[in-house]
Amino acid sequence: MGLAAYKKTIRESESPRQIERRILSRVTHELQTYVADFDKSESRFERQQILAGGLRDTLVENQRIWAALRSDLAEPGNTIPDSLKASLISIAMWIDRQCSAVIAGEGGLAGLVEINSNIVAGLAGRGATEMAHEGV
């Protein structure tokens, strides 16, 4: 099956919520691979090396995912309750700022991973503790 056909099959067989969970799970897993090294590194040089080794690309992808979610939440036809929309948009804005800070060599990754993991758990209808045991 060609790539285009595979993508079409996924779009037709998964709900938007499942797609969001799958994509966010993948980027969260990628971020997790960098947490220990990045957050414990004490020099800006070490952090820049980790960023150049793939973390920067993962952070940019995380920002894109959250920007898309924020845009979807702001659509007039979005049926999510307003209070939840406002909270998720606020989280998306924090994610954007935090990703930018990490790209600049500041801050840490643990908070990003924790928030992403909690959102993935919510999208899956499970608690974050259950997801952690599954390695998500």
pLDDT tens string 12-36: 567 777 888 999 999 999 999 999 9
Alpha-carbon distance of 10 to 18, in angstroms, equals 10
43: left (phi over 0), alpha (psi -120 to 50) or beta: beta
Provide the total of helices (H) and of strands (E) in the chain, helices listed first. 7, 0
Q: pLDDT tens across 68-121, in order? A: 999 999 999 989 899 999 999 999 999 999 999 999 999 899 999 999 999 999
Q: What is the pTM of this model?
A: 0.80
Cβ–Cβ under 8 Å, residues 116 and 21:
no
pLDDT at residue 42 in the model:
86
